[in-house]
Amino acid sequence: MKCIYCGCEESKVLDSRSTDESNSIRRRRECLNCGRRFTTYETVETVPILVIKKDGSRQPFDIEKVKMGMIKACEKRPVSMAKIDEIANEIEKQIQNSLAQEIESTKIGEMIMEQLKKTDEIAYVRFASVYRQFKDVTNFIKLITEM
61-76 confidence digits (pLDDT tens) = 999 999 999 999 999 9
Question: Phi/psi class of residue 99: alpha, beta or left (left: φ > 0; alpha: ψ in -120 to 50)?
Answer: left
The sheet carrying 102-104 orders its strands as 58-60, 50-52, 102-104
Cβ–Cβ under 8 Å, residues 40 and 1: yes
Distance CA 85, CA 29 (A): 37
The pLDDT value recorded for residue 134 is 64
**Which residue ranges make up each domain of the chain?**
11-43, 50-146
> What is the identity of the amino acid at 121?
E
Distance CA 133, CA 54 (A): 13
Distance CA 32, CA 39 (A): 14
> pLDDT by residue for the chain (147 residues), tens digit each?
899 999 999 999 999 998 776 678 999 999 999 999 999 998 877 778 999 998 999 999 999 999 999 999 999 999 999 999 999 999 999 998 888 899 999 999 999 999 999 999 889 888 887 777 666 666 656 666 766
Q: How far apart are the first and last CA of the chain?
A: 56
Tell me the DSSP string of 105-119. HHHHHHHHHHHHHHH
The pLDDT value recorded for residue 125 is 86
Beta carbons within 10 angstroms of residue 23's beta carbon: 10
